[in-house]
A and B are shown apart, each in its own frame.
Chain A
Amino acid sequence: MRTALILLFLLAVGAVPGSLLPQRPLNPGRTSGYIRAHGSWGRFLDGIGMFDVFGSVWFAAIYLLLFVSLIGCLIPRIRLHARAVTRKPLPAPRNLDRLPESGSFETSDNVDAYLDSARAVLGRRWRVVRREDASGAVTLSAEKGYSRETGNLIFHVALLASLVLIAIGRLYSYQGSEIVVQGHGFCNVVAQYDSWQPGRFAAEGKIRPAPFCIDKLTRFTAAYTDSGEPSKFAADIVYRPSVDDPSTRARITVNHPLRLQGDRVYLIGHGFAPRVTIRMPDGTVRHDTEPFVPQDAATLQSEGAFKLQGKPGAKQDVGVAATFSPTPVPQSAQTFTSASPQVRNPILGIAIYLGDLNYQGLPQSVYSLDTSKMKLSGAANLRVGQKKTLSNGVSVTFDGWVPWASLQVSHDPAQGFLLWSALAMVVGLLGSLGVRRRRLWLRVTPAGDSSDAPHTVVSVGGLARSDSGNFSTEFAALFERLRSVGRPARAAVLTGTE
């Protein structure tokens, strides 16, 4: 017990830094910022895993020790309990009045008649055994509340099972997310994801994502209240559960993911993809639609870029760095920000660059421009339909926008079982904390026949095996019932402390 206590305590204390320090898996940006700001102290904390507490070696060590200690204490307890359940209740101690609760009375019933009545009082909830003393007295040993220990064991076993299921879930899980512009789609293939977080087996390629496709985001809808609070987000999609299946329609909303065999598809974010028409330096006309990244979750003021390559090596690439303000409000003389995520006469603020987009030929972020080999050639704030033309004939027209939705695919084959296991924990807890374990003994002694009427002395003793609650009251009530079923003789004496 002491080990369990210490390990539980460590577990609680160990979890605390995980909530107070930024955690890399949740927020990599803030984590590296924190480390930079705190110099060697930050690096020290990093070294001991403080920025990934729940993935750290020492947290795993506490968890594993707890696991081992739990197994170590459960096995003997299960064996003991199995024995206790099959065994008869213990014989009565010699002196019942030494027990925490006891009392005695006399009845004019004879021994057997009284014992029958007493058994009837105890009913089915008590397990009762009758024994005869050497002295000729008869004892009843009664016990109840076995399900307390049963419940406690169920709880701890289910806890173990839960830990195992969490670990299995981690090993077999994967998670990918993808920004889908309305009208487009994707398949559940690693290469298609913007972000991919595999569990160990998925990372090793031992499990492969199920072959389903979200063929098309037909429509994304956002609804707002009068005061501008979001009230509903919904993504209408067409999907195929497996590549060869026929297409099916479905709607994904924030609390209602699409649940496929083994995978779930969530709607986790949304934004805007402005559409532009660009006349290139060589006179060709191109169309482009790019998803922009929201800079502010409350107003969806967004940023992004359009990148159009001209003839290779001709330094005729056009890059447009842009901001999209759904409900524009002037921020300074030249720039706009947004007052609301609702689109009302939006503005696309553009800065047009000419030159070489990717002189290094390396992969780049699609949301920003590398302007080191480009020249700023013009800027404007465009409403839908407006156009900015440069002196060399290059122009950018803001044609409109479509929404995009960020869809996340999650896979965790163990979570359904985990739910059952967690429910078993609750059931076990209810037994463990709700049931009281009690022992009761009756010694029924024929008191000679010197007097005219037969009479019998009954002594009763009780013991609370667990949390005594108000056992005195409980005992007193039971004592009273046991007394009143016998034909009265003389007064009862009830003694007892708690």
Chain B
Amino acid sequence: MAGIDGSAAHLSDTVFTTAIAVYALAMVSYVAEYAFGRRGRVAATAAVRELVTVGSPRTDATTASPPARGGAERLGRFAVALTVLGVALHALSIAIRGIAVDAVPWSNMYEFASVAGLVGVLAFLGVLWKAPTIRHLGGFVLLPVILMMFLAGTVLYSKAQPLVPALQSYWLGIHVTLVSIAEGALMTSAVLTVLFLVKHRADKHPGSTGAFSNLATRLPAAETLDKVAYRIVAFAFPLYTVAIICGAIWAEAAWGRYWGWDPKETWAFVVWVIYACYLHARATAGWKGRAAAWVNLAGFFAITFNFLIVNIVVSGLHSYAGLS
């Protein structure tokens, strides 16, 4: 294994910081669009969709977005452009880090958080592609990503290092890649679920005012949020399953057993079972909607716990955190 290319590692850090700044700018633009956008936008878009369905069902919903509305619309487009730029920089920083350590660059908490954040933003862009109406919600996705990247770049940061022997396995690449993709996607699902709960509540108490109901009027229909959140889990759950299997294959090769109830493994299991609960809840009478949404959030809580608390506080074999 070659040593570490210090200047490349340094460049990677710089690009990483720039990506955070670009995301922050994008977030401000989303929030501005959100604040200045007109109230009726969701209703208007929904109406347009009906129209389109009648006329020519093939038409992509993009063309259905309401005619440009000056400032807010331009802000929104600007925000998306910035997000794309941020993603490009973010991906670049990870790629350079990979070159610097001459291995897949997600073997410690800093690198992992960075990759998961990237996947979260990509998942948002993917959803945006299919459902442009949620654009003004970009701030809600970028906020946790920025926080996580900030945390990654400060508290969780570790210098670029070559891998210790136990981590020198291609299963590591596959395992951690899949986990970070799945968890990044599940983060987006959790954000949409929170928004679903807000909208759901507002639908129940139509008369109320305040920040929440103000927010709710601009959200897509509760049912849409719920559905998109579900589709994301339906995508991420099999990935997470494969990720756990790859982890088990790797553990078998490295530690002599495929499963040992190490704290990290235990929490991966807990997360997996909670999302299985979520999928069941959505198919169980009386659990659809709000209850299922809370299960989804419990799943994301478990992911966060596994990532932060188990890595930092609970010790185990998976001491890859790189913190000391």
Contact B238 A429 (CB under 8 A): yes
Q: How far is the CB of B310 from chain A (nearest CB, A)?
A: 7
A480→B58 contact, CB < 8 A:
yes
Cα of A205 to Cα of B118 in the assembled complex, Å:
53
- Which of B's residues lie within 8 Å of A, judged by CB? 1, 3, 53-54, 56-58, 161-162, 164-166, 168-169, 171, 223, 227, 230-231, 234-235, 237-238, 241-242, 245, 248-250, 252-263, 266-267, 269-270, 273-274, 276-277, 279-281, 283-287, 302, 310, 314
Given A268-B255, A426-B241, A19 and B263 contact (CB-CB distance below 8 Å)? yes
Minimum distance in angstroms from A236 CB to a CB of chain B = 15
On whether the beta carbons of A26 and B238 are closer than 8 Å, the reply is no
Please list the 3 inter-chain residue pairs (A to B) with the smallest Cβ-Cβ separation, ordered nearest first.
Answer: A476-B57, A19-B266, A19-B263
* Interface secondary structure of B, over-half rule: helix
27 examples of A-B residue contacts, CB within 8 angstroms = A1-B285, A2-B284, A2-B287, A5-B281, A8-B280, A20-B263, A175-B256, A227-B161, A230-B164, A231-B165, A232-B1, A254-B166, A254-B254, A255-B166, A264-B256, A415-B252, A419-B245, A433-B237, A433-B238, A467-B227, A467-B230, A473-B57, A477-B58, A480-B58, A494-B53, A496-B53, A498-B223
Interface residues of A in 196-235 (CB under 8 A from B): 225-227, 229-233
Give per-residue flags for A414-445: 1 if the beta carbon is below 8 A from chain B beta carbons, else 0: 01001100110110011001100000000000
Determine the distance from Cα of A426 to Cα of B257 in the docked complex, in whole angstroms.
21
**A67 CB to closest chain B CB, in angstroms?**
14
Decide: A473 and B230 in contact? CB cutoff 8 A. Answer: no
State A314–B302 Cα separation when bound (angstroms): 64
B60, closest chain A residue (CB) = A473
Q: Which residues of A contact B256 (CB under 8 A)?
A: 175, 257, 264, 266, 268, 408, 410
Instruction: Decide: B280 and A430 in contact? CB cutoff 8 A.
Output: no
Chain A nearest CB from B257 CB (Å) reads 6
Residues of chain B within 8 A of A231, CB atoms compared: 1, 162, 164-165
A370 to chain B, nearest CB (A): 32
**How many A residues touch B, CB cutoff 8 Å?**
63
**Please, which residues of chain B bring their CB within 8 A of the CB of A408?**
256
CB distance from B85 to the nearest CB of A (A): 29
- A58 proximal to B (CB < 8 A): no
Is A333 interfacial (CB 8 A cutoff)?
no
Report how far A425 CA is from B240 CA in the complex, Å. Answer: 12
In the complex, whether A4 has a CB less than 8 A from a CB of chain B is yes
Which single member of B57, B227, B276 contacts A480 (CB below 8 Å)? B57
Known: A15-B273, A16-B266, A433-B234. 14 other contacts (CB 8 A): A2-B284, A2-B286, A4-B280, A8-B280, A12-B277, A53-B261, A229-B161, A231-B162, A232-B165, A257-B253, A268-B256, A422-B248, A467-B230, A467-B234
CB atoms of B261 and A26 under 8 A apart: yes
The verdict on A225 contacting B162 (CB below 8 Å), with A9-B277, A231-B1, A268-B256 known, is yes
Identity of the chain B residue whose Cβ is nearest the Cβ of A472 in the assembled complex: B53
The residues of A that contact B267 with a CB separation of less than 8 Å are: 19
Bound Cα distance from A273 to B287, whole angstroms: 62
Q: Are B245 and A422 in contact (CB under 8 A)?
A: yes
Q: Are A429 and B237 in contact (CB under 8 A)?
A: yes
* Nearest Cβ on chain B to A478's Cβ, whole angstroms: 8
Q: Does A23 belong to the interface (CB within 8 Å)?
A: yes
> Are B266 and A15 neighbours in the complex by a CB distance under 8 Å?
yes
Measured in the bound complex, the distance between the Cα atoms of B251 and A257 in whole Å is: 11
Pick from A11, A255, A429, A468: contact of B169, CB under 8 Å = A255
Question: Is A18 located at the chain interface by the 8 A CB criterion?
Answer: yes
Does the CB pair B266–A255 fall under 8 Å? no
Contacts of B263 in A (CB 8 A): 19-20
A186, CB-defined interface residue at 8 Å: no
| A254→B277 contact, CB < 8 A | no
| In the complex, A342 has a CB within 8 A of chain B | no
- Which residues of B lie under 8 Å from residue A425 when comparing CB positions? 241
- Given A8-B276, A15-B273, A429 and B254 contact (CB-CB distance below 8 Å): no
A268 to chain B minimum Cβ distance, whole angstroms, is 6
Please measure, in the bound complex, the distance between the C-alpha atom of A54 and the C-alpha atom of B234, giving whole angstroms.
29
Task: Please report the C-alpha to C-alpha distance between residue A433 and residue B3 in the assembled complex, in whole angstroms.
Answer: 44
**Cα(A232)–Cα(B163), bound, Å:** 10
A26, B253: Cβ atoms closer than 8 Å:
no
Indicate whether A255 sits within 8 Å of B284 (C-beta atoms), given known contacts A16-B270, A232-B165, A433-B237.
no
Of A5, A19, A256, A430, the contact of B238 (CB 8 Å cutoff): A430
List A contacts of B279 (CB < 8 A).
Answer: 433
A253–B165 touching, CB < 8 Å:
yes
Q: Which residues of B contact A254 (CB under 8 A)?
A: 165-166, 168, 254
Task: Specify the chain A residue showing the minimal Cβ separation from B287.
Answer: A5
Chain B residues within 8 Å of A266, by CB: 255-256
Verify if A479 is at the interface (C-beta below 8 Å from B): yes
| Chain B residues positioned under 8 Å from A363 (CB to CB) | none
Q: How far is the CA of A471 from the CA of B274 in the complex (A)?
A: 27
CB distance from B299 to the nearest CB of A (A): 9
A15, A255, A467, A473: most-surrounded residue (chain B CB, <10 A): A255
Q: How far is the CA of A227 from the CA of B237 in the complex (A)?
A: 40
- Residues of A within 8 Å of B285, CB to CB, are 1
For A412, the chain B residues whose CB sits under 8 A away are 257-258
Q: State A254–B260 Cα separation when bound (angstroms).
A: 17
Chain B residues within an 8 Å CB radius of A494: 53-54
A253 partner residues in chain B, CB cutoff 8 A: 165
Task: Chain A residues near B169: list those with CB within 8 A.
Answer: 255
CB proximity of A35 to chain B, nearest CB, Å: 18
Instruction: Give the chain B neighbours of A476 by CB distance below 8 A.
Output: 53-54, 57
A47 at the interface (CB under 8 A from B): no
Q: With A5-B287, A425-B241 known to touch, is A226 a contact of B270 (CB < 8 Å)?
A: no
Query: Is B165's CB under 8 angstroms from A19's CB?
Result: no
Chain B residue nearest to A468 in the complex (CB): B227
Residues of A within 8 A of B242 (CB): 426
Neighbouring B residues of A257 by C-beta, 8 Å: 253, 256
**Cα distance A148–B166 when bound, in Å?**
39
In-complex Cβ contact of A15 among B171, B248, B269, B287 (8 A): B269
- Nearest residue (CB) in B for A470 is B227
- Report if A469 contacts B (CB, 8 A): yes
The interface residues of chain A lying within 8 Å CB-to-CB of B250 are 255
Q: Which residues of B contact A422 (CB under 8 A)?
A: 245, 248
Residues of A within 8 A of B168 (CB): 232, 254-255
Residues of A within 8 A of B302 (CB): 12
Give Cα distance in the complex from A430 to B236, angstroms: 11
Please give, as numbers and ranges, the residues of chain A lying within 8 Å of B252 by CB-CB distance. 415
